[in-house]
Chains A and B, each alone.
Chain A
Amino acid sequence: QQQVKQSPQSLIVQKGGISIINCAYENTAFDYFPWYQQFPGKGPALLIAIRPDVSEKKEGRFTISFNKSAKQFSLHIMDSQPGDSATYFCAANKGDYKLSFGAGTTVTVRA
């Protein structure tokens, strides 16, 4: 059973648009919420991460919004570029234990 539920499965956005990916979790003990980006033929790589003591974290065009009471977090990609076309995974972690990954969202940015 997946501990982190991710949606949508895929999305298409025009260049310059905003991509939004949502994740929800059940385990309130999770204390670390990373997003990974994966290009075809490559392993996932950390994109941005947040801890539950903050509600938002921004790095360049990528922003995580975190709602602790709703047990939800989301990734916003602003000014989406064709190079952002990839699969994005949300994940959650408790302490130094294993990462639980969402099912992944394939983002396609049309030029």
Chain B
Amino acid sequence: QVQLVESGGGVVQPGRALRLSCVASGFSFSDYGMHWVRQAPGEGLEWVTSVSHDGRNKFYADSVKGRLTISRDNPKNTLYLQMSNLRAEDTATYYCARDQANTGGYYPDSWGQGTLVTVSS
């Protein structure tokens, strides 16, 4: 079955960087687009970014453009989210999710359990 396991969350100071990882198993990772979706404590869901199956096409929410970068390593079945110049408003649980298609432009049909990022001094 599809399994997505995020890691890399923690407490980080404002302005610092952090890299999240998501290891995929149970499906052919290189055939699917992938998403990152986040949820601030007590708040709703916010789509952050997605990437096509081959890593060539990337899409970002305006709120993170230029600071968060999505990437993937298909031979390692791993999705990444490089986060830089972090702000308090980036505090959230970050979910990795598989796209229904290979483009990164459809809906997230399988989700990981999430990893919490707290930006605080």
Query: Are A and B interaction partners?
Result: no
Measured CB to CB, the residues of A under 8 A from B are none
Measured CB to CB, the residues of B under 8 A from A are none
